[in-house]
């Protein structure tokens, strides 16, 4: 983020985008799409975020494409966040951690998104492995979908979102810089952060903020929403940049415009 700015570009090969790019909705189209994004904007963005479900829908061939993208990004020193939203208990959570965070795993990314709604401590195998391997996690805390409030806002002053935020801050307390436990906080949550009394600056971790661009959030919105925590925000844009493809120059220009909006 210090080097490239506060932008994460999603690799979201939706069927509609594949069609708009003149690609088939199959593993070959998926690979061409993903490699084009990596090669076009990998050096501009702080990280790339492949949406795992859009690879899984193509079965083993889709996962093979994801493995290739993660490997090629690592070889090019491009950071990746696997948007998998995994969450479970015991040995199953340990297996998810092993898949996404273990050195040598074919699916190893630099970070993975996690769902804490079986209890924050159920994520412990992933939290520990991320710390041990120099990787990170982004735990869902305050999402902008309307249904999220029914769970995340529950509890009032001691809301679920606040408990997750406090737990992440405790895990990052000993970190010299930003800790390995980040949070996912929607770019369009507006006053919910203040309303729930969340101290996101105290988390001392990166804050992944989806919703920039196509979902309506601007750089000015992010600065107002996150306040003192804004320097730790990694804003995510997917469709708003990807719709500029398939020409690499157009993707780079869209990324540059988005970065300029964040800087402004």
Q: What residues are annotated to the active site?
A: 85
Q: Is the peptide bond before 3 cis (omega within 30 degrees of 0)?
A: no
Integer Cα distance of 15 and 58 in angstroms: 11
Alpha-carbon gap, residue 60 to 218, rounded angstroms: 37
* Integer Cα distance of 184 and 58 in angstroms: 26
Q: In sequence order, which residues have a C-beta less than 8 Å from that of residue 208 and are 6 or more positions away?
A: 8, 49, 81, 113, 138, 182, 183, 184, 185, 234, 236
> For residues 151 and 117, is the Cβ–Cβ distance under 8 A?
yes
Residue 193 region, left (φ>0) first, then alpha (ψ -120 to 50), else beta?
alpha
Burial of 173: CB neighbours in 10 Å, binned 0-12, 13-18, 19+: exposed
């Amino acid at each position: 983020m210090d080097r490239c700015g506060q932008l994460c570009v999603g690799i979201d090969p939706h069927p509609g985008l594949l069609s708009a790019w003149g690609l088939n909705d199959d593993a070959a189209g998926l690979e061409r799409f993903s490699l084009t994004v990596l090669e076009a904007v990998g050096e501009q963005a702080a990280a790339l975020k492949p949406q795992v479900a859009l690879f899984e829908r193509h079965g083993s061939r889709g996962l093979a494409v994801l493995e290739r993208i993660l490997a090629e990004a690592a070889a090019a020193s491009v950071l990746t966040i696997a948007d998998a939203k995994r969450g479970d208990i015991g040995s199953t959570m340990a297996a998810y951690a092993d898949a996404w965070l273990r050195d040598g795993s074919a699916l190893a990314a630099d970070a993975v998104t996690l769902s804490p709604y079986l209890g924050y401590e159920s994520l412990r195998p992933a939290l520990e492995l991320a710390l041990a391997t120099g990787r990170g996690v982004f735990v869902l805390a305050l999402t902008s979908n309307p249904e999220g409030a029914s769970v995340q806002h529950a509890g009032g002053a001691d809301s679920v979102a606040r408990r997750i935020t406090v737990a992440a801050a405790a895990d990052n307390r000993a970190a010299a810089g930003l800790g390995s436990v980040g949070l996912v906080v929607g770019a369009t949550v507006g006053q919910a952060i203040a309303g729930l009394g969340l101290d996101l600056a105290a988390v001392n971790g990166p804050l992944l903020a989806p919703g920039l661009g196509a979902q309506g959030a601007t750089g000015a919105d992010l600065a107002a929403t996150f306040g003192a925590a804004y320097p730790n925000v990694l804003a995510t844009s997917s469709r708003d940049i990807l719709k500029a493809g398939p020409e690499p120059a157009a993707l780079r220009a869209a990324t540059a415009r988005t970065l300029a909006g964040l800087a402004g």
